[in-house]
Structure 1
Amino acid sequence: MPEREPTITGYLTLGLLAARDWSAYQLAEQLGRGVAELWPSADRGRYAVLNRLHKAGFVQTRQEHTGKRARTIYSITPEGREALAAWLRTPVRPPSLEFEGMVRVLLSDQGSLDEMRATLARTREQALANREMFARYAAFISATGGTFPERRHLFALANTFMIGHYDHIISWADWAEQQIAEWPDTVTPATTHGDQVREMLAPGRERFQAEQEGAR
């Protein structure tokens, strides 16, 4: 991989600068609007990435003054546009998932049933809050065109995915709470609730069997 190749956060930053020039604060603010839910590391590296892009020649800077205050404004260079366009032509990597609540579910046999219920309840609350946030974005874009009206058709695609994503988490949390409602603890159902476990696994098993039959 070339040393100067940007990270995904770098490409996100170049994509923002492809639309208009921004200050570091404005770029960080834009990267925090829904992007952190899609690409968590963007939130952690949104300031440091500008220095790397500048050293690589993908962005340039200028100073703007408001009274006695100066601020640095970043703009994309032709080389930065070329790098972004080249990246968009490369094969996309598979999606990944960072989901602490699910990790806790997987390890719930080391804790109590009440703790597992609390994890599911908190997971639902978080998903409801995020779904509401993306619903507000949808209303804002519909009413005003959004911050990037020239990209609103693309934001509509992403917004629909994110709302569906949180719909799925909410539905799963509700379903999981129903499944564990009669469990005595987080350990014994592995042996005492075999029929229930097989029923939970049935949709995946049946899909696999159907795919195998379709491939013949």
Structure 2
Amino acid sequence: MSSAPAVTTTSYAILGLLAVRSWSTYELTQQMNRSLGRMWPRAQSKLYEEPKKLVALGLATATTEQVGRRPRTVYAISPAGSAALARWLEEPGEGPVLEFEQLVKLAFAENGTRADALRTVAAARAWAVRANVGNLVAAREYAVGEGPYQHRAAQGMLAGAFFTDFYAMVARWADWATEQIESWPEEPAEAVADPAALAEILDKARWSGDDPLVGSAG
């Protein structure tokens, strides 16, 4: 006997969208990419299968509508789906997982050239600038009351604030990393860490006030 399909974070994300309104599969996929793609990127093929799974689990309903001569399936959240979504929201969830190829490359920079490392950091900064273009457009729309689903701006701005700070942080880090790498010798393997920079990192790492070594002496 086959087991029931697992309800995943993607399942609940789609339930959350269905709680906003009913969607066709195509609309769900577009909205998932637009509103959640930065925080929960998933392959489009997976998103097309997810609503069917929710229907099979009784968490959503499916109805067929006629659009011109073509039928389309529209999905809506069911009472059981609303209850499941509410239960999921009661749990705090897991923290972020960072996947940053350029940072991995820099971790082994001694095996390449200084120019390689500088190009990698420049690409990271360029990514932050590109990513912030759409973010800035959205921020302007919501700030003047013209964003998509403006009535949900209180919820959406939480993620908006996170990504605004995140893109700016990557750009600031890239500027700092560029200065560090430019001070390296031609062979990165011969680079020596700047003691002042290490001390600054330590000072910043104490931002939470939870340093186990502070006050332990004596």
Q: What band does the TM-score fall into relative to the shorter chain?
A: 0.7 to 0.9
C-alpha distance in 2, partners of 1:24/1:116?
43
Gaps of 5+ in 1: none
What's the counterpart of residue 26 of structure 2? 25
What's the counterpart of residue 190 of structure 2? 188
1:161 is the counterpart of 2:162 = yes
C-alpha distance in 2, partners of 1:208/1:72?
53
Gaps of 5+ in 2: none
1:137 is the counterpart of 2:138 = yes
- Determine what percentage of the aligned residue pairs are the same residue: 31
SS at match of 1:157: helix
Structure 1 contact 20–75 (Cα < 8 Å) conserved? yes
Shift of residue 37, structure 1, vs aligned partner: 1.8
What's the counterpart of residue 13 of structure 2? 12
Would you identify which runs of 4 or more consecutive aligned residues in structure 1 move more than 4 Å? 2-5, 207-210
Name the stretch that deviates more: 202-211 or 55-64.
202-211
C-alpha distance in 2, partners of 1:44/1:136?
28
What's the counterpart of residue 100 of structure 2? 99
| Greater helix fraction, Structure 1 or Structure 2 | 1
Shift of residue 145, structure 1, vs aligned partner: 4.1
Structure 2 contact 33–41 (Cα < 8 Å) conserved? no
Q: Aligned-pair RMSD on alpha carbons? A: 2.3
Q: Which amino acid aligns with 2:196?
A: E
Structure 1 contact 124–169 (Cα < 8 Å) conserved? yes
1:205 is the counterpart of 2:202 = yes
Shift of residue 116, structure 1, vs aligned partner: 1.4
Structure 2 contact 63–74 (Cα < 8 Å) conserved? yes
What's the counterpart of residue 53 of structure 1? 54
The TM-score with structure 1 as length reference comes to 0.87
What's the counterpart of residue 171 of structure 1? 172
Q: Which amino acid aligns with 1:25?
A: Y
Shift of residue 141, structure 1, vs aligned partner: 2.0
Shift of residue 204, structure 1, vs aligned partner: 3.5
C-alpha distance in 2, partners of 1:71/1:37?
28
The TM-score with structure 2 as length reference comes to 0.86
Structure 1 residues 40 and 98, CA gap change in structure 2 (3 angstroms): farther
**Offset from partner CA, 1:41-72 (integer Å, 9 cap, x none):** 36673222222222211111111112211111
**What are the residue-to-residue correspondences of 1:108-147 with 2, within 5 Å?**
108-147=109-148
